Amino acid sequence: MRRRIAIVGGGVSGLVAARTLHAGHDVTVYEAAGAPGGHARTVTVPGGLAVDTGFIVFNERTYPRFAGLLRELGVASQPGDMSFGVSCRRCGIEYSSRGLAGLFARRVQILRPAVHRMAIDVLRFNAWGRRAAARPGDDETIGDLLTAGRFGRDFFRHYLLPMSSAIWSAGAGDAHRLPLRFPNHGLLQVRGQPPWRTVTGGSRRYVEALVRPFGDRLRLRTAVGRIRRHAGGVEVHTAEMGWEPYDDVVIAAHADQALALLEQPADEESAALGAVAYRRNVAVLHTDTRILPRARDAWASWNAQVDDCLDSGANLRMTYHMNRLQRLPEHPTWCVTLNDEARLDPSKIVARHVYDHPVYTTEALRAREAIRTLSGRRRTHYCGAYLGNGFHEDGVRAGLAVGEAIQRGRETS
């Protein structure tokens, strides 16, 4: 039986859900922005190059659903570089993961015992972390590991905290609260990292292919203001169309946005959706190379910058070297910098985008289980990368799960 289904949110989860459902149901996708894709956002820069500013990389091992989706869509990908580096202004350390030349990017670091100790601790953590991640139900956090003194402080200040903050777009304080067993897609590994890839021509290529079969069901620049549920179905309200009736609604938005949309949410919905916090990150695409490390051997694909490693509340600044990540021509140097716009030369800024990322704490991880349980009740389904580990792969999985659940007729009234 065909159903009328509203999908609120045109990011990867909502689009995958729509792709799964559109052939058998009457689907309408509401997206507040002027283009679909969510964090898959590509900018065409002078010279016609396509530069990504949100979702950038994936790999076959830990992104199997997303990689499979690209193959189904016939979208090409190419190898990418995932080197990582840290610069600490207070300590004067600059290094990258690009071999010994990168570790000792500033040659004086050869004489600094702290750098050698950090490198040894990275190797020790690589082995220890795999065992810790395999322990079920272990709620130990990165902060607990620091307190326990298993590894040196330079390892935390100049590797683990910057790397963890970079992976999950978290502040330093939030990184302390990340569970150690939280999956990181191999990014914390020194050895055995899966080969990383980028979408050829930018992530917008897969979005264009994904929406092609149901593009006429996309309502762009149409923000949903409220959702109300009743025994006979659901209603979605927009400024353009007022209240519109549907059999089901899929809320493919952030958890806090989903809660704000619901009229008369159940106590369980309020508790679960309200437990997932978000951090706002401003991504600026630019050509200002002053933001990169002074030592060129320290230039990496991911460049973490810390002013004072002793300040536990200091925010991490990240700059992505897009030429390395996306195999772009060497000149000009294209960078995407998070949360450091004030330091950039305004004349070299090309684009600015705002992204919100979930903050993963032990409480948030428990809440996502509750949200999964609630999904489908009162004809309301939830999907988003926050229901997994916040990566693009998790967005694909969430969209597939909701689409397949509705296809199986699991909706409840």
Q: Which pLDDT belongs to residue 411?
A: 42
Q: What is d(CA 305, CA 303) in angstroms, rounded to the nearest whole number?
A: 6
* pLDDT for residue 141 is more than 70: yes
pLDDT > 50? residue 211 = yes
Instruction: Tell me how far apart the alpha carbons of residues 264 and 354 are, in angstroms, rounded to a whole number.
Output: 29
Q: Which pLDDT tens digit goes with each residue over 30-81? A: 999 999 999 999 999 988 999 999 999 999 998 999 999 999 999 999 999 9
The phi-psi region of residue 185 (left if phi > 0; otherwise alpha if psi is between -120 and 50; otherwise beta) is left
pLDDT at 312: 65
Q: What is the pLDDT of residue 359?
A: 87
pLDDT tens for 335-356 read 999 989 999 999 999 999 999 9
Judge whether 235 and 243 are in contact, CB under 8 Å: yes
Give 401-411 pLDDT, tens digit per residue.
999 999 987 44
pLDDT score of 179 more than 70: no
Identity of the residue numbered 110: I
Of 64-68, 152-156, 215-219, 273-277, least confident by mean pLDDT is: 152-156
Closest CA to 54 of 68, 71, 70, 42: 42
pLDDT for 174: 64
129 — pLDDT class (breaks 50, 70, 90): low
pLDDT in tens, 299-329: 999 999 988 777 666 667 899 999 999 999 9
**Do the beta carbons of residue 18 and residue 7 sit within 8 Å?**
yes
Confidence of residue 22 (pLDDT cuts 50, 70, 90): very high
Beta-sheet strands, E only, within 67-129: 77-79, 84-88, 93-96
User: Average per-residue pLDDT in the chain?
Assistant: 89
Contacts of 50 (CB under 8 A, 6+ apart): 42, 43, 44, 201, 202, 204, 205
Number of helices and strands in the chain (H, E): 14, 20
Closest to 215 (Cα-Cα) out of 394, 379, 71, 36: 36
Q: Which of 52, 93, 80 is nearest to 293 (CA)?
A: 93
Burial label for 176, CB within 10 Å (0-12, 13-18, 19+), is buried
The percent of residues above 90 in pLDDT, for the chain, comes to: 64
